Amino acid sequence: MSKNSVLQKIKSLKAKTNWLYLLLFFNIIWSILSAYADFNWLSQVPYYLILFTSICSLYPPLLVIWDLIYIHIKKVPVWFTELLFIGLFTYGIAAQIYFPLLMLWHGFNWHDFGSMFWVAAYGLQAFVIKSEIKNLSWKKILPAILFFTSVDITHYFYPTFLDYTLPGYPLALKYFSAFLVVTLQISAIIITLRLSQKNTIH
């Protein structure tokens, strides 16, 4: 099976209600597991920074909310969809580059290796939601830009990204990962605007 056919199958899940319920169940389980896995870390983060903290604990619950809205009213607010799409696109790709580099530093471990597939599992759902990005303008995308800018700042300058707090964490890897994420975010914003134009015309 080709890569394009796999992506098309993922994209078509949204049109099949039974599959969407299955995806909803999957995201609920993912939310519970990620909250459990990150609980000790999240409990150490100031409450006012929680929203900007854990990537794996944030996106599965947001996907649950998106699925519920789409299943029941078929119309998800575009600001929510584009914010979710940017995050899924950015971290879904970044994880496949970042975690191998992290393991080059402190050695192979199953947690980091599994995280690549963990993030990819919800990152691929960007293909499920992308057709709902419509009638988007710079004014509507500005809240997402402000949100991700806040996430980047808190990750870089405050203890809200667990890996950055590890003893001896390489400064070069910190610089590179920050550059990688920002580059992917900018790319995702451009793609989001193009998807909006394409979906609105259709």
Q: Would you call 197 exposed, middle or buried from its count of C-beta atoms within 10 A (0-12, 13-18, 19+)?
A: middle
pLDDT tens-digit series, residues 82-116: 999 999 999 999 999 999 999 999 889 888 888 89
Residue 149's pLDDT band, with cuts at 50, 70 and 90, is very high
Say whether pLDDT at 169 is over 60.
yes
Asked which of 3-17, 26-40, 102-116 is least confident by mean pLDDT, the reply is 3-17
- Tell which phi-psi region holds residue 46, choosing left (phi > 0), alpha (psi between -120 and 50) or beta: beta
Q: Which two tokens stand for residue 32?
A: 């519970």
